[in-house]
């Protein structure tokens, strides 16, 4: 792979604008090369049958042992050897008042023919160096501040740990010193009375007391140096005068417990209790409770903060290395094209810049590793490094093989199902209408799930292709996010199970032995129970971390607004709004197998008042969850857009209720209300999809009626997606003005339009996350913020 492609592939997606623009500099070099080819075309070698030898091959052999003397070293200011006449560039650092300074290159050969091309190249090269240097400096300053913050958090953690795990070792320092001095004085008096050397022993005891007092207070006398690690442990080295004692004393001083008087537990509003405390206007921090469960919670929060901080340091180190390598590559290309020797001088300036000279990330990484291994993995280095440096998932060929196997089986089962229905004329058989009303909605649930998984797998494929960092956006733990292959594998395997169940059911239908009994009716509920068992299985099989992540997000959606709303939570709630028909199928499962006579395929769910009431409720639940999520975000962020979004979902709730009422009772007034409310909701939702969620239809953008930055190069894709979104948004018309095809059952029509809504949601997913990714790129936001457990008193922080 060429360096340009490798360089792009190794970039942090959210920082791509801050990297050196290698491709543009390469295009400038191509301009220089084209000019040189026009002015100095290569010699025509077609006249002779043999290639001409270079003149250097006819020179006398210089020998392998020849020694060169009086070699001139190149100057530090320019390339092309040590002679002033051979210098190509002069590089310098310009320090302006009130600024960080920047680097400038003076090209000395601008008067030569074509020198203006090289002058433009060096000006752009300086711009790129200054841009990269400025960004790197700002990020290093950020990690310095974050390291200082984590240092204070570790001080509080160590003191908190001492109070929890060793409460008997905590004592009042002043009282202890007084008691110790009194005991020593008493013993000294007794010793003096019995031996003449008591005075010397008393002096020794007093020196010991003084040493303990100084050690506990962290005070150093003259000739005493003190070093503080990130974990809050101070190591004191004592020396006498200018000479260091051979056996210098090293006192490991524990973190001062006084720090606990200035800290409180942060109220992060992430749990129901913290949310209620925030609503009741309680203090931002809570008093410390020295309990083991609180210690465990604090340790987990700090552990996540250290892991995230370490990843930031790794990417920052990679950023520095890649840019330095890019400058080296581009300067070597310049030397090769122009036959000059300017790279050495310029790369020396790059090495002396903050980008090449600062090793702050590396030193911080070492300190983070030492602190994390010592305090969070009980000095188990391999365990600590595995947590800090998670291994990338290896692509397994067996997954690709299984996808092909299950996909082939799915196609074969679909063909078999069509053949069975056609040969046995099941559509025209007596009882087919009853089958479509009862069994078909049960099986369609699995079709909705499979279709959604396949669409989501396609989304992941295109996100990866266009380098959308979906793992970071959703908040997956690094290395645990599923790829499109894994999602396709799950979808195809579920499709095989569902189709096999349907064919088995139909086979039992035509078999006289099983037609009058209920085994065929138990197949769909058995498959549903199997899926639920797999979903809630606590064992580490079938992507446990992803299953639990899904369950956690679903639980947060149901318990909204008690939990803090994250992107993964409201993204899942948006997916559920497109699965209303699947949720209604779950309701039918409960009614059909709970209160219906499933053995004879008879149920009265449609005429049950309780069923019809819940038919309204289950359709509203996803939209109600989104409404409450927007309300909570508006309460926390004070963003008006969240209030408008909440009104949008409220209008959708009204529209769904009106459409459902019209479907249950064909009354003209319900039809008018359904059309009116649905039209208002659809127009608002379409506007929100395209303008807010996708960020398109911007008048003054670089791409007319789209947005300034696009990941897909073909603009027609965006216009096609907008048109398709509008068309599919108005699919609700079939519920109010129902279509009546001759050979299509009502349930089949409902399934088709429900599937179209799932496809629309899949299209929405890609452009929604693309817009989110571009917003992160615009703000250089490549890391999620991890809440810290402790908050310090502001007055104490100012004093420090």
| pTM for this model (two decimals) | 0.79
Q: Determine contact, residues 670/656, Cβ cutoff 8 Å.
A: no
Q: Determine contact, residues 17/129, Cβ cutoff 8 Å.
A: no
pLDDT value for 39 = 80
- Local structure of 421: helix, strand or coil: helix
Backbone φ, ψ for residue 46 (5° rounding) = -80, -15
Alpha-carbon distances, residue 23 vs 7, 125, 258, 707 (angstroms): 10, 12, 56, 23
Cis geometry, peptide bond prior to residue 561 (ω within 30 degrees of 0): yes
CA dist., res. 217 & res. 131, Å (int): 46
DSSP states of 176-208: HHHHHHHHHHHHHHHHHHH-TTHHHHHHHHHHH
Q: Which two tokens stand for residue 702?
A: 């670089």
**DSSP 8-state assignment for residue 64:** S
Residues 6+ apart with CB under 8 A from 433: 745
Q: How far apart are the first and last CA of the chain?
A: 52
Strand partners, 597: 602
pLDDT value for 224 = 39
pLDDT value for 37 = 85
CA dist., res. 743 & res. 745, Å (int): 7
- Give the start-to-end residue ranges of the domains of the chain: 397-791
Q: Determine contact, residues 331/342, Cβ cutoff 8 Å.
A: yes
Residue with tokens 């409960």: 590
CA dist., res. 664 & res. 668, Å (int): 12
CA dist., res. 302 & res. 308, Å (int): 10
Cis geometry, peptide bond prior to residue 590 (ω within 30 degrees of 0): no
Q: Determine contact, residues 345/77, Cβ cutoff 8 Å.
A: yes
Q: Which two tokens stand for residue 795?
A: 């007055």
DSSP states of 265-298: EE--S-SHHHHHHHHTT--SEE-----HHHHHHH
Strand partners, 266: 285
Residue with tokens 């240092």: 151
Q: Find, among 624, 672, 690, 629, the residue nearest to 651 by Cα.
A: 624
Alpha-carbon distances, residue 326 vs 10, 501, 743 (angstroms): 12, 57, 65
pLDDT value for 460 = 96
Strand partners, 235: 227, 252
pLDDT value for 688 = 95
Q: Find, among 231, 291, 307, 302, the residue nearest to 266 by Cα.
A: 302
Long-range contacts formed by 622-626: CB under 8 A, 24+ apart: 622/573, 622/576, 622/577, 622/579, 622/580, 622/583, 623/577, 623/649, 623/652, 623/653, 623/656, 624/649, 624/653, 625/557, 625/558, 625/560, 625/573, 625/576, 626/570, 626/573, 626/574, 626/577
Q: Which tens digits make up the pLDDT trace of 119-160?
A: 888 899 999 999 999 999 999 999 999 999 999 888 888 888
CA dist., res. 310 & res. 369, Å (int): 8
Backbone φ, ψ for residue 784 (5° rounding) = -85, 145
Crossing angle of helices 22-39 and 115-165, rounded to 10°: 160
CA-CA-CA-CA torsion for 768, 772, 777, 783, nearest 10 degrees?
-140
Q: Determine contact, residues 624/555, Cβ cutoff 8 Å.
A: no
CA dist., res. 793 & res. 798, Å (int): 9
Would you say how long the chain is, in residues?
A: 800
CA dist., res. 428 & res. 422, Å (int): 10
Residues 6+ apart with CB under 8 A from 368: 230, 306, 309, 310, 313, 388
The three-point CA angle 547-553-555 to 5° equals: 100
CB-CB neighbours of 99 under 10 Å: 9
Q: Which two tokens stand for residue 710?
A: 């696009």
Backbone φ, ψ for residue 250 (5° rounding) = -120, 115
pLDDT along the chain (800 residues), means of 10: 83 88 91 84 54 52 45 41 60 67 79 82 91 92 91 87 72 47 48 43 40 38 43 44 40 62 74 65 61 84 90 92 92 89 88 89 92 89 87 79 95 91 72 74 93 96 92 85 93 95 81 61 90 93 92 92 90 94 90 74 73 88 95 90 94 91 83 90 93 91 90 93 92 71 76 93 95 84 78 57
CA-CA-CA-CA torsion for 357, 358, 362, 368, nearest 10 degrees?
170
């Amino acid at each position: 792979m060429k360096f340009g492609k490798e360089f792009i592939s190794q970039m942090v997606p959210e920082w791509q604008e801050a990297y050196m623009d290698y491709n543009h500099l390469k295009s400038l070099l191509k301009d220089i090369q084209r000019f040189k080819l026009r002015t100095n075309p290569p010699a025509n070698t077609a006249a002779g049958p043999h290639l001409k030898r270079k003149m250097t091959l006819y020179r006398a052999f210089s020998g392998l042992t020849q020694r060169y003397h009086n070699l001139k070293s190149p100057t530090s200011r320019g390339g092309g050897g040590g002679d002033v006449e051979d210098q190509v560039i002069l590089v310098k650092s310009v320090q302006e008042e009130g600024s960080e300074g920047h680097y400038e290159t003076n090209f000395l050969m601008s008067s030569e023919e074509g020198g203006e091309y090289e002058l433009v190249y060096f000006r752009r090269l300086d711009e790129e160096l200054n841009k990269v240097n400025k960004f790197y400096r700002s990020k290093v300053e950020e990690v310095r501040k974050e390291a200082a913050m984590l240092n204070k958090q570790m001080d509080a953690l160590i003191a908190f740990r001492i109070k929890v795990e060793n409460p008997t070792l905590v004592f009042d320092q002043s009282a202890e010193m007084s008691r110790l001095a009194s005991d020593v004085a008493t013993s000294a008096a007794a010793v003096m009375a019995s031996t003449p050397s008591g005075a010397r022993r008393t002096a020794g005891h007093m020196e010991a007391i003084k040493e303990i007092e100084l050690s506990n207070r962290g005070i150093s006398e003259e000739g005493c140096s003190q070093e503080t690690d990130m974990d809050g442990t101070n190591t004191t080295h004592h020396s006498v005068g200018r000479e260091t004692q051979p056996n210098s004393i090293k006192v490991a001083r524990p973190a001062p417990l006084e720090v606990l008087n200035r800290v409180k537990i942060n109220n992060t509003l992430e749990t129901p209790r913290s949310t209620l405390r925030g609503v009741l206007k309680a203090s931002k921090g809570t008093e410390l409770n020295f309990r083991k469960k609180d210690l465990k919670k604090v340790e987990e929060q700090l552990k996540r903060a250290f892991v995230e901080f370490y990843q930031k340091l790794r990417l920052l180190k990679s950023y520095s290395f890649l840019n330095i390598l890019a400058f080296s590559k581009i300067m070597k290309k310049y030397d090769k094209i122009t036959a000059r020797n300017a790279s050495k001088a310029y790369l020396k300036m790059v090495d002396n810049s903050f980008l090449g000279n600062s090793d702050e990330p590396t030193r911080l990484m070492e300190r983070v590793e030492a602190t994390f291994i010592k305090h969070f993995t009980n000095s188990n280095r391999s365990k600590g490094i595995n947590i800090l440096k998670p291994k990338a998932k290896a692509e397994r060929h067996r997954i690709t093989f299984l996808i092909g196997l299950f996909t082939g089986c799915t196609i074969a089962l679909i063909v078999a199902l069509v053949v069975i229905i056609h040969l046995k004329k099941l559509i025209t058989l007596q009882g087919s209408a009853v089958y479509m009303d009862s069994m078909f909605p049960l099986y369609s649930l699995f079709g909705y799930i499979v279709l959604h998984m396949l669409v989501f797998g396609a989304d992941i494929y295109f996100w990866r292709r266009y380098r959308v960092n979906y793992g970071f956006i959703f908040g997956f733990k690094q290395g645990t996010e599923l790829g499109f292959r894994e999602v396709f594998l799950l979808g195809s395997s579920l499709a095989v199970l569902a189709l096999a169940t349907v064919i088995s059911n139909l086979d039992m239908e035509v078999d006289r032995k099983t037609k009058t009994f209920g085994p065929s009716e138990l197949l769909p509920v058995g498959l549903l129970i199997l899926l639920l068992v797999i979903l809630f299985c606590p064992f580490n099989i079938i992507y446990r971390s992803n299953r639990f992540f899904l369950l956690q997000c679903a639980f947060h959606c149901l318990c909204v607004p008690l939990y803090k709303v994250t992107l993964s939570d409201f993204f899942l709630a948006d997916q559920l709004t497109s699965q209303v028909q699947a949720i209604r199928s779950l309701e039918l499962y409960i009614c059909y197998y709970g209160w219906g006579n499933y053995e004879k395929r008879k149920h009265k769910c449609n005429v049950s008042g309780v069923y019809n009431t819940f038919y309204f409720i289950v359709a509203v639940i996803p939209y109600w969850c989104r409404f409450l999520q927007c309300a909570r975000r508006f309460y926390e962020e004070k963003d008006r857009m969240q209030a408008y979004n909440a009104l949008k979902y409220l209008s959708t709730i009204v529209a769904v209720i009106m459409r459902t009422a019209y479907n249950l009772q064909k009354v003209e007034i319900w039809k008018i209300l359904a059309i009116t409310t649905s039209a208002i909701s659809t127009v608002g939702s379409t506007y929100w999809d395209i303008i807010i969620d996708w960020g398109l239809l911007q008048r003054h953008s670089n791409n007319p009626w789209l947005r300034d930055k696009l990941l897909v190069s073909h603009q027609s894709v965006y216009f096609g997606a907008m048109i398709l979104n509008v068309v599919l948004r108005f699919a609700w018309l079939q519920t109010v003005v129902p279509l009546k095809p001759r050979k299509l059952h009502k349930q089949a029509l409902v399934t088709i339009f429900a599937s179209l809504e799932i496809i629309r949601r899949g299209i929405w997913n890609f452009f929604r996350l693309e817009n989110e990714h571009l917003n992160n790129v615009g703000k250089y936001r490549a890391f999620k913020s991890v809440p810290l457990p402790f908050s310090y008193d502001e007055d104490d922080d100012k004093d420090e």
